[in-house]
Amino acid sequence: MKLDLKKDLLQKEIPTNNWLWKDSQPEVIRNVSVNVELPLNKENELVMKKLIDFVRYSQDPELNKKENEDYLRPAVGLAAPQIGSNVNMFFARFEWDVETNDVEEFAMINAKIIAKSDQICCLSDGEGCLSVDTNHKGLVPRNYKIQVQGYDWLTNEEVDLTLRGYHAIVFQHELEHNNGQLYYDRINKEEPDFKDENWIII
């Protein structure tokens, strides 16, 4: 997606790193988020719009150039606590192919995991996070398959999603933000690169 800042932003501000809250601010990042009423009030609607604008902007290489003074680390997802709001919302954007516009977007409200597999998976290079500036190396074990229920703000409907692999990892990462958890909480403290022979490595 190539953003036109004059017409494509959902709110008035150009996304900036100043929006981000860090793990050094546990009063928000480590706090448990609350579910919100639907339809969203103006305050929560602004939060959702900022989440969407931030992720879309961060993935646009023409606007978000590395030489920019306020370069944003490209994000696949962003949860409301990361911009200072403890409400159960997050946005995830999977851009599989720019040329064919193969993109999936999920603007989730009050999402929750209702089922998960015993099978464990992880990303081979570990995970990162816009709210974490210190590099925490190690494998992050997560459920390979999850079932998630919630409300999608983009489609204005209740959704029941079955997610596997990378999709499931991203959703779990964002959902845990809303529970006050961070990816490095899952890394084996004694052996960061520990992996079981039965894990699926992605």
- 59-111 pLDDT, tens per residue? 999 999 999 999 999 999 999 999 999 999 999 999 877 666 789 999 999 99
- Is 97 strand, coil or helix? strand
Question: Model-level pTM greater than 0.75?
Answer: yes
Cα separation, 90 vs 102, in Å, equals: 21
Number of domains the chain is built from: 1
73, part of any domain? yes
CA dist 62 and 78 (Å) reads 20
| 179 is a domain residue | yes
The boundaries of the domain holding residue 187 are 17-201
pLDDT value of residue 106: 98
Q: Would you say residue 6 lies in a domain? A: no
List residues forming the annotated binding site for Fe cation: 129, 173, 177
Please give the annotated binding residues, written as ranges: 129, 173, 177
CATH number, position 145: 3.90.45.10
Looking at the domain assignment, is residue 9 inside a domain?
A: no
What pLDDT is stored for residue 1 in this prediction? 67
Q: Which of 99, 127, 157, 174 is catalytic?
A: 174
> If you search the block for the tokens 């489609």, which residue do you land on?
155
Residue 12 inside a domain? The answer is no
Q: Give tens-digit pLDDT for 152-196.
A: 999 999 999 999 999 999 999 999 999 999 999 999 999 999 999
Query: In the annotation, is 13 catalytic?
Result: no
**What's residue 99's pLDDT?**
67
